[in-house]
Structure formats: C-alpha cells, structure tokens
C-alpha cells in the first residue's frame, strides 16, 4: 500500500488516496473503512451491500471476530494474492486487520505482562506477540496494526497509562522484527499504534519509540476509549489537544487512523487536524440501538427547513407509528426509497430482522455521503463551514451526537398499546 497526499486545504485538513500495491486501485481519503464482523458487513449480504454502494471499499477486519477462521484460512488457496478478501467474498477488496472489534465494548483490567486479552466469540484468549504475528501471517491482510496495550481511557491512572506505553513498545519491537523477517508479509503495510491515554507526555514517548522503526507505514491512535458506545462519549475538548500535539510529531506523509464509533462532529474536527481514516462502527452502533442517522451535512439539506434537524431518528418513538414518509427526505438509499418511518417503527415493535438490515443500509449510505461531502468540501477549502453546520445543525445550540443504548423492551401484551420501558 502507498499513501499520497493530493491536496492540502488552505485552512485545514487534507485530501489524499491509498493505492493498492497489486491492482493500483485508489481509495480517496478522508476514508471511511467498512467495519465487518466475521468478515461480513453486519446484517448485510454481499448482494445487498452492492446495492448500498457500487464503489469498492476498504474492509476493516477485527481479529476478535475472525480468530476462529485461522485454521480454515491456513488450508484455503485462491487464485491470485488476495486470499483473505476472496475467502470472505469480497475479492480484491483492500483489507485492514485490527485487533479489537470497534463495535463492542472491550472489558478492562485483563492485561498481563507479556499478553494482550482478545475477547472473541469463544471467550477471552491471551495473545502473545508471537501468536499475534503467526495469525497475521495466516490472514495476510493488505494492512495490519501492531499489537498493543490500549486499555486506557479518560479516567485511567498515570501508572496504567505508563504500563500501556511500556508494554506496547515491547510488542512493537517484536512485531517490527518479525515484519522485517517475514516473506509472507513483505507486501503488507504496518500501522504503528500510538498509545498513552490522555497524557501528552506518554503519547510523545510512544511516538518517539515509533520513530525509531523504519517498518512503519502509517499510524493508528489507540487508548482513548474502550470501543463500543464508549467512543461516542469522547468529547472534542478532551481529544483534540492530544491528537493535535501527536500529529505535529508524526510523519506528515503517512496516513493516520482513529478506530471506534466517534461522533460525526469528532470525526470532522479530527479531519480538520489531518486525520485520514475512520471506520463505520458509529453507523452500526446507531442501527443496533434503533436510530436512523439524519444529521444535515450539505447546504441543500440546511436550506430545506423541513429537514430533520436532529442527529438521528429514534425508531422506538411511538409518535412514528403514522409517519408515512421516508426516514430522511431526498435520501436515495434503498430503505428510504422503499419504506417509511411508520414501517420501520413497526419492524422494531415486531422484532423483525429486516429492521436492523434496513437501518444498516440507511446509516451506511448516510455516512458514506457524509464523507463524500467532507472530501468535496476540503477541495473547496470550506471545512470550517461544514464543522459549524455539523456542530449546530439548524439552531444555535450544539447538537449531541452521543448514542445511548436502547433499553426499551417489547412484550407480546404491549404490542397493541405501545411498549414498556425497563432497565437493561
């Protein structure tokens, strides 16, 4: 993989593209990686995903959801070099292997001196640096991240943060040495993990160690949250000073990624700083909590006073039962073209699997449209105006994009009279 910076905005942010080594295909940045579970887009078959977008995407594969496939992949042989993408049914797609599932909260306080806990469908597994690189060589992704201790968050103690940095350095030493010696990973790109919680000093220590490694092709920021909905709770004022400081110390010409379900406002603020890659876990977290993304991101939507004006539509809301209109006006996704809010609310109340399927279709379409707008806005040097629009939408008060877990439970006896609220 090769990364090229194509345009630097006069105000902030940058445009670029990733180039796949074998095919020469280009993927424009800022880029939204498509999160997968077990190698599949959540809730969507390949045929359905092809109706969401005709463009090839970069797939983010997490070891936490794919570790059980290692034995089968060892025996799998495909024509050409993209065995992993062929195996999961997305032949020739660019693949990025990460450690943790960004859609699910990772339990804390399970770290040990020489291992990293991996929480999989088979339970907790202890991964050493050697075992991790064995798995990477089996999967043979186009891009993969270095093993790291990222068990830190806003309230982590100084001692925990320092352990995170020290253990990650230890893992990095082994991963870089193995990368250099491996013939299997000769064409793979290595993203170095930048850790250190919310400590500028610890982050600088992590970067100083990374800068001694010539194997690094990019950077991935870890340790700001524990994934799942905890990423939605990260605020701009907490994150921006740390990321801004780190970017100044990192190589400008290498791509930078922040995994996790960050809110659209946080994403666009980080793009403003020079971050290039995110993932679609926010769209997934919204879908499984019955929320349809509806925030405004274009001037046309802003000028339309009938627009939603809210970050998302809560499909559990009883007032939608007679709303026979699309989720978002003028949205061209399959869900909005064929179905209404009332029908989507009905699917929720009857617990039909079609509900989250249609929500994933809409939410992914909405997020991909959002990123397309970001790229066009950067080209016109207008990102600051987009940030203001995302931040305030149709009013003067800052919009809250944080997703809360759905705690409403439907019982059979409630189907005709609304539903009961209970604590999860």
Any idea how long the chain is? 424
- CA atoms 1, 243, 193, 148: torsion sign: negative
Judge whether 362 is annotated as a binding position: yes
C-beta of residue 391 within 8 angstroms of C-beta of residue 265? yes
Helix (H) or strand (E) holding 361, with range, is helix 354-379
Judge whether 216 is annotated as a binding position: no
What residues does 154 pair with on adjacent strands?
none
Judge whether 176 is annotated as a binding position: no
DSSP 8-state code for residue 377: H
Closest C-alpha to 94, from 48, 140, 136: 140
Q: What is the DSSP string of 31-68?
A: EEEEE-BTTB-TT--HHHHHHH-SS--EEEEEHHHHGG
DSSP 8-state code for residue 325: S
Judge whether 366 is annotated as a binding position: no
C-beta of residue 196 within 8 angstroms of C-beta of residue 203? yes
- Cis upstream peptide for 348 (omega within 30°): no
CA distance 28 to 81: 23
CA distance 228 to 166: 25
Q: Tell me whether residue 77 is exposed, middle or buried, using C-beta atoms within 10 angstroms of its C-beta: 0 to 12, 13 to 18, 19 or more.
A: exposed
- CA atoms 163, 203, 276, 174: torsion sign: negative
Between CA 224 and CA 229, with CA 226 as vertex, the angle to 5 degrees is 105
CA distance 31 to 17: 8
Strand 143-145 relative to strand 123-128: parallel, antiparallel, unpaired?
unpaired
Annotated binding-site ranges for Zn(2+) = 331, 333, 336, 362
Annotated binding-site ranges = 331, 333, 336, 362
């Amino acid at each position: 993989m090769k990364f090229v910076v194509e345009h630097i905005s006069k105000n902030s942010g940058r445009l670029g593209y990733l180039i796949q080594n074998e095919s020469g295909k280009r993927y424009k940045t800022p880029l939204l990686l498509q999160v997968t579970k077990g190698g599949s887009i959540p809730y969507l078959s390949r045929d359905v995903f092809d109706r969401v977008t005709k463009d090839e995407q970069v797939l983010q594969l997490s070891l936490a959801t794919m570790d059980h496939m290692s034995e089968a992949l060892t025996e799998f042989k495909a024509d050409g070099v993209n065995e992993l993408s062929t195996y999961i049914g997305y032949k020739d797609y660019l693949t990025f292997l990460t450690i943790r599932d960004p859609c699910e909260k990772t339990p804390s306080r399970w770290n040990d001196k020489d291992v990293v806990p991996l929480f999989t469908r088979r339970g907790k597994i202890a991964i050493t640096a050697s075992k991790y690189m064995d798995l990477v060589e089996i999967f043979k992704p186009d891009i993969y991240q270095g093993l790291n201790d990222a068990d830190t968050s806003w309230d982590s103690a100084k001692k925990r943060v320092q352990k995170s940095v020290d253990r990650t350095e230890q893992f990095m030493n082994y991963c870089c040495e193995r990368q250099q010696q491996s013939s299997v990973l000769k064409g793979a790109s290595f993203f170095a993990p930048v850790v250190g919680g919310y400590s500028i000093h610890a982050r600088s220590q992590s970067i100083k160690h990374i800068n001694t490694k010539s194997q690094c092709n990019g950077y991935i920021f870890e340790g700001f949250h524990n994934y799942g909905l905890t990423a939605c709770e990260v605020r701009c004022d907490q994150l921006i000073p740390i990321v801004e400081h780190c970017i100044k110390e990192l190589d400008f010409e290498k791509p930078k990624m922040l995994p996790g379900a960050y809110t659209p406002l946080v994403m666009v603020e980080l793009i403003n700083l020079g971050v290039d890659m995110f993932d679609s876990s926010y769209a997934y977290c919204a879908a499984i909590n019955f929320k349809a993304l509806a925030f405004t991101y274009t001037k046309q939507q802003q000028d339309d006073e009938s627009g939603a004006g809210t970050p998302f539509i809560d499909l559990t809301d009883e007032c939608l039962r007679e709303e026979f209109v699309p989720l978002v006006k003028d949205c061209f996704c399959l869900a909005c073209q064929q179905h209404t809010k009332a029908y989507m609310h009905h699917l929720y109340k009857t617990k039909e699997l079609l509900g989250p399927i249609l929500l994933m279709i809409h939410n992914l379409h909405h997020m991909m449209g959002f990123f397309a707008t970001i790229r066009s806005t950067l080209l016109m040097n207008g990102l600051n105006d987009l940030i203001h629009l995302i931040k305030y939408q149709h009013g003067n008060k800052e919009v809250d994009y944080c997703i809360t877990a759905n705690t409403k439970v439907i019982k059979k006896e409630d189907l005709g009279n609304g539903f009961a609220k209970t604590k999860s």
